[in-house]
Structure 1
């Protein structure tokens, strides 16, 4: 679940920063463009006749996922209809994990190439998978268009309502229900952590009560990930509140302790350093592109030299941002 939440946050960040021309003008506009209801989506009930498909990664891929097995699964019911379940979303998330290296259109082409390798699938099922993938991507864009208010509970509720307008209750619950339940508990935990009217013993007892609502598997994930999702949610909230480093450290210390707060602060600094380097690159690149006295071949050499300050992985991220028009201005 922690990995799914991280990917969800990355998707929201990626689409939130896309130029307005490539995203719906508003979340409502994105929904209006798709008038079909959840009842028109492929049936979500899988049966014992579900197809387990080859999981080899597409040969066209040459990036950070090279050599991995495709995650997720495509199921069909006894009538041959696609099951729009959590496993299908896992498949979408696997391909979308490459955001930052490839744009959504290229990722869709990779998904199509993989689907064409699955000879057990009918043409109608392949088409249904692509249709739902498109809806999933548009949902992420519409979700990002909601923005962040700094009130985690309110933001989660707005996101929940959007998903149901976009997908209908059944599909939204199948794809996001478990994470929404976990996120709601996360919001309550953060509220308790910020409640200065509680003494340490009372706060600890109430946090334990919330933890008791988790099933054993969720508690195990929480223990193994050291409250991974909660740390991400708190960081997103601190970003929205635009708190100073000292204020961020204080709030983190209250919830995690001094050592963990220091490590999270170091991650903040790494992100700041990246943003500064990216901005410097964007400014230098813009100056080169604006210099009409440079011959095209000379300009290209200079542009390549600008990339030498980044590692190979960072260069892929930078070039993906260039392709998407997402460099800082």
Structure 2
């Protein structure tokens, strides 16, 4: 099967989830906590899954035995690793990597009265917190940090459960890395049409199969339940919109049936998104008509409750500041990459060091995660355009 270049962007999104774990797709924490979320196009569906990518000690994806050995501290050919090994003293670096410094540490995991681990999002947040530093630290150090966190707060049977979930989660992420690699290798640079919805659906199905292979149902529900509901809804909506066999009235009827079956939280999110989009359009129109800042503020106050209006004002200011920072960063980023290309030294350790230092100048540790994800997608998009241009020559 061949994928179109823009499909590579969708597949590349699969590798960026860790950078944005716990929040809406490419939205800041403040965005996610506000009442409003923008409508998301099909390619931006939150089918973003984490990808294991670290410095070049190993070739990724890893063999499943290697993952088991990392977690259980056994030889990768020895399948008899016991949870008790985790109790042994292990060297855990005292200083967190720079991207995690100043971040809020994961919440303590929940345990039932009988000592069983309560399966909820806290477990995934703990794993993703440390995995978000992938690239700064090797996978074995990150796994050591996670194991240390587990052993410091859990005892059996909760500890055994936590270790089993960690093993399955890493195996799952490793499998997603293989899926991404498979799709990248099958890219057809001569096929430059619009990305195909069926490719997105195929990737998602493969991700779901990998998930079911390594994680129990209660873990899948806790980690991905709400995201799956959102993805199902958005993919169904995209399929309705794309179905040329339906006329306008039939599409409206199909959408009404879809909404009738959708969970209330998702419909509320959609209503909020529609309200915001309408507000944004009207706000932009007022700006283009020369409205004063006072008039714009009055319009915001009239459109929302005082609390929401205040949050929107703060959010707009933060977005403006973010765009200014991002613009300045992009200019200097382009200088670094252009210099490396001129010196035939792209992707060198020196270039990566300069980029890392540049990010630290402009962004907080949490913002750096977001910038990495954006840079990754921008790189994939540029590569697709380059392939298209060279094919046309």
TM-score, with structure 2 as normaliser: 0.46
Conservation of the 8 A alpha-carbon contact between 2:126 and 2:146? no
Conservation of the 8 A alpha-carbon contact between 1:285 and 1:306? no
1:93 is the counterpart of 2:142: no
User: Which residue of structure 2 lines up, in the alignment, with residue 21 of structure 1?
Assistant: 59
Q: 2 CA distance for matches of 1:192 and 1:35?
A: 50
Q: The residue matched to 2:205 in structure 1 has which SS?
A: helix
Uncovered stretches (5+) of structure 2, i.e. residues with no partner: 1-19, 27-45, 69-75, 84-92, 187-195, 276-322, 374-378, 384-393
* Structure 1, 15-24 or 180-189: larger mean CA deviation: 15-24
Describe the shift of the 1:187–1:116 C-alpha distance in structure 2 as closer, same or farther (beyond 3 A): same
User: Which residue of structure 2 lines up, in the alignment, with residue 184 of structure 1?
Assistant: 232
User: Which residue of structure 1 lines up, in the alignment, with residue 170 of structure 2?
Assistant: 137
1:164 is the counterpart of 2:212: yes
TM-score, with structure 1 as normaliser: 0.53
* Structure 1, 129-138 or 99-108: larger mean CA deviation: 99-108
Q: The residue matched to 1:15 in structure 2 has which SS?
A: coil
User: Which residue of structure 1 lines up, in the alignment, with residue 37 of structure 2?
Assistant: none
Q: 2 CA distance for matches of 1:226 and 1:64?
A: 34
Q: The residue matched to 1:122 in structure 2 has which SS?
A: coil
Task: Show the 5 A alignment for 1:202-281.
Answer: 202-224=250-272, 280=338
For each residue in 1:277-296, what CA deviation from the matched residue of structure 2 results, as whole angstroms up to 9, or x when unmatched? Answer: 78646646864999xxxxxx
Q: 2 CA distance for matches of 1:29 and 1:102?
A: 17
Q: 2 CA distance for matches of 1:285 and 1:109?
A: 39
CA-CA distance at 1:80 after TM superposition: 1.4
Q: Which of 148, 155, 159 does residue 122 from structure 1 map onto?
A: 155
Q: 1 CA distance for matches of 2:208 and 2:346?
A: 45
For each residue in 1:194-219, what CA deviation from the matched residue of structure 2 results, as whole angstroms up to 9, or x when unmatched? Answer: 22343444334422332332222222
1:312 is the counterpart of 2:350: no
Q: 1 CA distance for matches of 2:160 and 2:95?
A: 20
Conservation of the 8 A alpha-carbon contact between 2:130 and 2:142? yes
User: Which residue of structure 2 lines up, in the alignment, with residue 248 of structure 1?
Assistant: none
CA-CA distance at 1:142 after TM superposition: 0.3
Q: 2 CA distance for matches of 1:83 and 1:188?
A: 32
User: Which residue of structure 1 lines up, in the alignment, with residue 242 of structure 2?
Assistant: 194
More contact order relative to length (CA 8 Å, sep ≥ 6): 2
For each residue in 1:82-128, what CA deviation from the matched residue of structure 2 results, as whole angstroms up to 9, or x when unmatched? Answer: 2343332233233334445545444334434544654xx32764464
Uncovered stretches (5+) of structure 1, i.e. residues with no partner: 42-57, 228-265, 291-298, 322-326
